[in-house]
Amino acid sequence: MITRRAALRGVAGGAVAVAAGGALAACGGGSDGQPAAAKASATPRKGGKLRAAFIGGSTESTDPTLAAGVGIDYVRARVVWDALGELDGGKPVWRLAETVEPNSDATRWTVRIRKGVTFSDGRQLTAQDVLFSLRTLVEKRSPQAGFMTHLDLKKARARDARTVELPLTMADGFFDLALAHSMFVFPDGTKDLAKAVGSGPYVVKKWQAGRSSLLVPREDYWDADNGGPYLDELELIPVTDAAARLSGLKSGQFEYAGGLALTALRTERGNSALRLETPSKDLWVDLNLPMNLGLKPFTDARVVRAVKLALDRESLVRTVTLGQGEVGNDLVGAHQPYYDTGIAQTAYDPEQARKLLKEAGQEGLAVRIRTSDYDYGTEESATAMVPMLEKAGIKATLDKVPAADYYSDFKTILSTPVQTAAYHPNPLPLAIRTYYGSTASFPLTGTKDAAALDPLIAAMNRATRDEQRRARVADVLTHLHEHGGDALFARVPTVSGSAAKAHGVKSRGYADFPSLRDAFVE
């Protein structure tokens, strides 16, 4: 079952940020200031072994309904259990589903299952398997279940062996994004989920929690004509510390390491034995200072605006993101489909911030910012903000919470006036519904504005055509930029690394926990 802590870190994607699409791009050396990289090969080959290190945890499991809670579990799940679809560039790419279509008002969706797919035990994939998997994911309260809150499971049915009908309790024109969101499929009637067979390219040969797991390829993989599996063996190694993952990569213990520290882009500059990689910008992490609009002093819009104007975003990008990030504009979803690039950038204007505070009767305002080093950049940015806020007339102090405790108390999170947060990428319409409005799962800016936001979000949900979707999402973003409580000040890339001989690792929606389906070694 997903914990509040796991969900908040990745926002319904658990610790892995079950999130938007794109492939890892190798950083080239040269005048752009990126690290030198070992040249990538474009010709896959069969054979060999890849050892890959990712963050693990005390709750590691081989249960697909729990996979999104621990990084290494999710990486393993992606090659053992195929999903209905994947996200690429924020849009669905269907895998086990052949087509996914709504009715005219987006209250019923029909999923057509791909023909010829088999599980690793030889069973053919059927619509009943898909229906059973979706029901199980919801009943087990998996992270993915958070995106299926509108699904009416009592009325859902398998119309025939290859067709599933999914009625919703309300219109949802973006339900296709939800269905492409790590909906792993396993056989109907599976009793022991920890031993559930999958339809993916690899099977687990050896696994023990907290230790490395060994996977071997399927000879009968249904999609082998379009890519992997290429490896003879895939070993996944849990390593909690990012520095240890980098050290292991450099020493030859691993051929791939995910979730490296941003500083690696500087320290490994010129290391031709490694290929350091950052994802496309739609997969970057948003660094945010959410203010709860229902709690004083942020019940006054002038105070909220003053804080936004007080942040020197360019300076924060230079210092906190080491110049590798970009300025944020108080909105989630930058570089994703449907994001409105025409919204004006929030300025840096400490003098105007002072004036607004004076108008609000808040001269000499004191605030306490709750923060932690749970995610890279959160505590660092909070520290850097203190003198910026002081320049605008706000005395800020920090409440530094241990990383292990930061997401453990959901009630505290929702009753905190101002805190730092790292928003890991999710498809923009799903992120909007997760953070904002009266039914939001994680309303870090509160629900005071729900009466104005709910109709805008409902209109967004009803949109089914792309032009409608774009317009309705823009309406929500415009409102959030003018009236929202997010001071989203910077965006930062995540970093992964490969040995020179390792290739074919692709984000397919999740940069820190990528797909190894097509991985190969030279």
Please list the rounded mean pLDDT of every run of 10 residues in the chain (522 residues): 40 38 33 41 88 89 90 95 93 96 95 97 97 95 86 96 97 94 95 96 94 96 96 95 94 95 91 93 96 98 98 97 96 96 97 98 97 90 98 97 80 94 92 93 93 96 92 98 98 95 94 94 94
Contacts 24+ apart (CB under 8 A), 300-304: 300/360, 300/362, 301/483, 302/356, 302/357, 302/359, 302/360, 302/362, 303/356, 303/357, 303/360, 303/362, 303/365, 304/485
The CATH H-level (homologous superfamily) assignment of domain 82-199 is Dipeptide-binding Protein; Domain 1 (3.90.76.10)
Each residue of 11-45: pLDDT tens digit? 433 334 443 333 333 333 333 333 334 455 569 99
Residue 434 DSSP symbol: H
Closest residue by Cα to residue 221 from 84, 96, 67, 41: 96
Is residue 345 helix, strand or coil? Answer: coil
**pTM of the predicted model, to two decimals?**
0.87
- Contacts of residue 251, defined as CB under 8 A and 6 or more positions apart, other chains included, come to none
DSSP line for 391-407: HTT-EEEEEE--HHHHT
Each residue of 433-443: pLDDT tens digit? 999 999 898 99
Is residue 428 helix, strand or coil? Answer: helix
Mean pLDDT of the chain: 90
Is residue 517 helix, strand or coil? Answer: coil
CATH pick for 1-57+201-278+495-522 out of 1.10.620.20, 3.40.190.10, 2.60.40.1730, 1.20.120.430 = 3.40.190.10
Q: Which two tokens stand for residue 223?
A: 């999609």
DSSP line for 456-481: HHHHHHH--SHHHHHHHHHHHHHHHH
**Is 228 within 8 Å of 201 (Cβ atoms)?**
yes
Q: What is the pLDDT of residue 403?
A: 80
**Domain-wise residue ranges, the chain:** 1-57+201-278+495-522, 82-199, 285-492
Q: What is the pLDDT of residue 3?
A: 38
Q: Using CA atoms, how far apart are residues 67 and 83, in angstroms rounded to an integer?
A: 13
* CATH no. of 285-492: 3.10.105.10
Separation in Å, CA 177 to CA 7, 66, 89: 18, 20, 11
| Bridge partners, 371 (sequence order) | 400
**Is 277 within 8 Å of 495 (Cβ atoms)?**
yes
- Contacts of residue 66, defined as CB under 8 A and 6 or more positions apart, other chains included, come to 1, 59, 73, 140, 142
